[in-house]
């Protein structure tokens, strides 16, 4: 017992868990995720129990989904301007009010479309704004060397919430009604907002003075414009293309081909088992990422995981029935969960601090914006090819897209901890009147000099 107790004490007092703000963030995430899944169970049950039926449900979900995607870029911009924590806090407070109103309406009967649609639009818009902002908080809380483990632990908490939430939501709806489950969701947003209000990140306080010889001065630094990064950041271009291809292949396969395959020979129970394996595999991938050491060349780890994903996904229909398919799905999800943490950490370190929100908003658009196209293509492909042949096609697309990324020098030669560097010398800020020419202007952020810099621009590829 003593060694186990010592290992536990070490785990909670070292690395990301030693940071109070990070521990608070995990608590808020767990609360919010469980609440989200209570909502995901309660809303369909509420609508389908009334006179609206599937048409009303689909309309309400569209009112949620469209604003969610549209507001993702706005969330990145606002998070970079005023801070991700403040954006997340405001979004949680608004969502608490909106879901609270929905809970009151649910207690008086089935709400109408005129009541549901505005609430869904508000919830979707807040979710879209919240998503990119959430990726800016960890870099402000944790040192670079702890970001990978911190992302893994954060993802694990969300996945645990995803396992607990549907069960809790279903039990609440079954034992009481949808209104109580919605009330729990509203309360979870308030808990998350309270936690965020108590977090203090580096972005909320003045940067500490650097130690150094008396009279030592740092050169002025110009903030890199986002359009400059967008034009010259070849690494970002490569990641965006890979994200587009992989999500086009994955979403349709899981949402269309997998249920069709299960319907043909595994039944509803088998389909549920496959979805459970998808969740458990993702949780295992996060655990592996949390326990693994940072690699010097993340691109090669990323590519190796993509090959495993492609092989596992392609083998699902040919692995010998439900058991083999479940193993393949679990292996795929493990590699995918690990890969996601690798690329998120890579981008959080590579992007300038003032641009992380906008960078992640682009990646989230690539991930989420492809969903309707992916499922439409999958429906057409499964109809003409069949469910089973669609899996190796999708698996090959995932593996080949990442292997193709290795042909790009900016991706292939990227090293862990490397930050974006402009492709040409950056002029300093003009010195304002009254400020000594030897020192930086007030409010100018200090350059991050703790990691090597690498030219990932398009010019460096020529």
Q: What is the pLDDT of residue 14?
A: 59
CB neighbours (10 Å) of residue 247? Answer: 19
CATH number at residue 137: 1.20.1250
3-state DSSP call for residue 453?
strand
DSSP state of 256: I
Q: What is the pLDDT of residue 275?
A: 79
Q: Where are the alpha helices (DSSP H) in 351-417?
A: 356-368, 371-385, 387-405, 409-412
**Contact (Cβ atoms closer than 8 angstroms) between residue 339 and residue 367:** no
Q: What is the pLDDT of residue 187?
A: 92
**Contact (Cβ atoms closer than 8 angstroms) between residue 281 and residue 332:** yes
- 339 and 251, same domain (yes or no): yes
**Contact (Cβ atoms closer than 8 angstroms) between residue 234 and residue 458:** yes
- The verdict on residue 377 lying in a domain is yes
- The verdict on residue 422 lying in a domain is no
- The verdict on residue 286 lying in a domain is yes
- 99 and 195, same domain (yes or no): yes
- 190 and 243, same domain (yes or no): no
- 88 and 130, same domain (yes or no): yes
One digit per residue, the tens of pLDDT, for the chain of length 462 reads 455 555 545 545 557 888 888 888 888 888 888 888 888 888 888 887 776 677 787 788 888 888 888 898 898 899 988 888 899 999 999 999 999 999 998 888 778 888 888 999 999 999 989 988 888 888 888 888 888 888 888 888 888 887 787 778 888 888 887 888 889 989 999 999 998 888 875 444 333 334 444 444 444 445 778 888 888 888 888 888 888 888 888 888 887 788 888 878 777 777 777 878 888 888 888 888 888 887 888 888 888 898 999 999 999 888 888 889 899 999 999 998 898 888 888 888 888 888 888 888 888 888 887 777 887 888 888 888 888 888 899 899 988 888 888 888 888 888 887 888 776 655 554 444 444 443 333 333 333 333 333 434 333 333
CA 48 from chain centre, in angstroms, equals 30
- 132 and 59, same domain (yes or no): yes
Closest CA to 99 of 37, 30, 176: 37
Rounded to 10 degrees, the C-alpha dihedral 227/306/336/74 comes to: 10
Domain span at residue 125?
A: 19-145+165-201
**What CA–CA distances, in Å, run from 451 to 247, 344, 421?**
31, 17, 11
- 60 and 197, same domain (yes or no): yes
- The verdict on residue 66 lying in a domain is yes
- State pTM to two decimals: 0.74
- 303 and 171, same domain (yes or no): no
- 178 and 239, same domain (yes or no): no
DSSP H or E segment with residue 454: strand 453-455
Q: What is the pLDDT of residue 258?
A: 83
- 121 and 268, same domain (yes or no): no
Q: Where are the alpha helices (DSSP H) in 199-321?
A: 226-232, 234-252, 258-265, 267-291, 298-315
CATH number at residue 311: 1.20.1250.20
Task: Count up the domains in the chain and report the number.
Answer: 2
- The verdict on residue 387 lying in a domain is yes
Bridge partners for 455 per DSSP:
421
- The token pair at 423 is 């492709």
**What CA–CA distances, in Å, run from 380 to 383, 384, 394?**
5, 6, 14
Q: What is the pLDDT of residue 93?
A: 94
- The verdict on residue 129 lying in a domain is yes
- 242 and 172, same domain (yes or no): no
- 388 and 252, same domain (yes or no): yes
**Helical pair 113-141 and 72-82, crossing angle rounded to 10 deg:** 40
Separation of alpha carbons 351 and 358, rounded Å: 10
- The verdict on residue 152 lying in a domain is no
- 197 and 274, same domain (yes or no): no
- The verdict on residue 158 lying in a domain is no
- For the chain, give percent helix, strand, coil, nearest 5: 75, 0, 20
């Amino acid at each position: 017992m003593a060694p186990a107790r010592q290992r536990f004490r070490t785990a909670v007092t070292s690395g990301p868990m030693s940071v109070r703000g990070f521990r608070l963030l995990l608590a808020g995430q767990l609360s919010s995720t469980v609440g989200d899944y209570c909502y995901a169970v309660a809303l369909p049950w509420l609508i389908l129990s009334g006179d609206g039926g599937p048409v009303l449900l689909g309309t309400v979900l569209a009112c949620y989904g469209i604003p969610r995607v549209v507001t993702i870029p706005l969330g990145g911009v606002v998070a970079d301007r005023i801070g991700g924590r403040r954006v997340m806090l405001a979004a949680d407070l608004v969502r608490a009010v909106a879901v609270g109103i929905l809970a009151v309406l649910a207690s008086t009967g089935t709400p109408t479309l005129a009541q549901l649609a505005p609430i869904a639009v508000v919830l979707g818009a807040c979710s879209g704004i919240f998503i990119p902002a959430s990726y800016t908080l960890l870099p402000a809380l944790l040192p670079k060397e702890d970001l990978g483990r911190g992302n893994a632990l954060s993802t694990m908490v969300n996945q645990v919430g995803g396992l607990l939430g549907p069960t809790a939501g279903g039990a609440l709806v079954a034992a009481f009604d949808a209104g109580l489950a919605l009330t729990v969701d509203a309360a979870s947003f308030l808990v998350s907002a309270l936690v965020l209000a108590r977090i203090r990140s580096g972005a909320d306080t003045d940067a500490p003075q650097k130690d150094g010889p008396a009279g030592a001065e740092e050169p002025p630094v110009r903030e890199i414009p986002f359009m400059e990064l967008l034009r010259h950041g070849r690494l970002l271009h490569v990641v965006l293309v890979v994200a587009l291809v992989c999500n086009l292949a994955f979403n349709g396969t899981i949402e269309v081909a997998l249920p069709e395959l299960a319907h043909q020979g595994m039944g509803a129970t088998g389909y549920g088992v496959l979805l459970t394996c998808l969740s458990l595999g993702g949780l295992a991938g996060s655990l592996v990422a949390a326990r693994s050491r940072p690699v010097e060349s993340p691109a090669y780890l990323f590519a190796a995981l993509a090959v495993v994903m492609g092989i596992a996904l392609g083998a699902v229909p040919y692995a010998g029935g439900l058991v083999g398919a479940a193993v393949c799905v679990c292996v795929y999800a493990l590699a995918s969960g690990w890969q996601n943490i690798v690329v998120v950490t890579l981008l959080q370190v590579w992007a300038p601090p003032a641009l992380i929100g906008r960078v992640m908003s682009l990646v989230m658009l690539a991930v989420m914006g492809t969903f309707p196209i992916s499922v439409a293509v999958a429906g057409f492909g499964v109809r003409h090819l069949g469910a089973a042949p669609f899996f190796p096609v999708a698996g090959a697309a995932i593996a080949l897209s990442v292997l193709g990324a290795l042909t790009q020098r900016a991706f292939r030669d990227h090293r862990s901890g490397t930050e974006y560097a402009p492709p040409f010398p950056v002029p300093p800020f003009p010195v304002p009147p009254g400020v000594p020419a030897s020192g930086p202007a007030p409010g100018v952020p200090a350059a991050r000099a703790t990691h090597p810099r690498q030219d990932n621009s398009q010019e460096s590829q020529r």
